[in-house]
Structure 1
Amino acid sequence: MFGIFVKKVNSDVVIRWLLTKVTIPISDILAVTTDDTYGGKEKQAIRLGTPYGTTDRLVIITKENTYILFTTNYTSIQKKLNSYIQPA
């Protein structure tokens, strides 16, 4: 499967795509939004996924970096990420 997978592990969010694994502390996540541009507005962002014209872009803004996820499953991933960063 070539999709992007997101899960919570302790106090981190782990994002996997192909052979890439990114770990982001939940406390570092500032916002989760969408981006309607083809390559993403943030030029220095870390990009995960395949940027086809039909994929949506989900942007994770952290204290250190910005991540752009190219996925067709953005609503599910966005809901999952938002549930992780909501205070308990």
Structure 2
Amino acid sequence: MFEVYVKQVDTDIVIKWLFTKIKIPIADIVTITTDDTYGGKEKTAIRIGMPYGTTDRVVIVTKKSTYLLFTTNYLSIQNKLNSYIHAN
């Protein structure tokens, strides 16, 4: 389980990676984008996943925090997140 997993549970988005589990209320999400820099543009972001040079980065900006997801299937995760947001 080295990949970052994202799913919707009620009105929250749950992000799982290794022993980490983060819940983000969907109502708190401001934007979802990608980041093409190695370590991420946002220096105070909460980093989830393995930051290899070949991984892509999905950025979730909420009202309180920024999350940087290191993943190899960024398009799938980004599409899931966008569908969860637009469904609510």
TM-score range, shorter chain: over 0.9
1:57 equivalent in alignment to 2:57: yes
* Partner Cα distance (2:70, 2:77) in 1: 11
TM-score (norm 2): 0.97
SS where residue 61 of structure 1 aligns?
strand
* Partner Cα distance (2:19, 2:63) in 1: 24
Count of aligned residue pairs for this structure pair: 88
Identity of aligned residues (%): 68
Q: Which runs of 5+ in 1 are unaligned?
A: none
TM-score (norm 1): 0.97
Q: Which runs of 5+ in 2 are unaligned?
A: none
1:19-34 to structure 2, matched below 5 A, reads: 19-34=19-34
* Partner Cα distance (2:86, 2:31) in 1: 11
RMSD: 0.8
* Partner Cα distance (1:2, 1:45) in 2: 20
The equivalent of 2:80 in structure 1 is 80
1:14 equivalent in alignment to 2:39: no
* Partner Cα distance (2:44, 2:57) in 1: 15
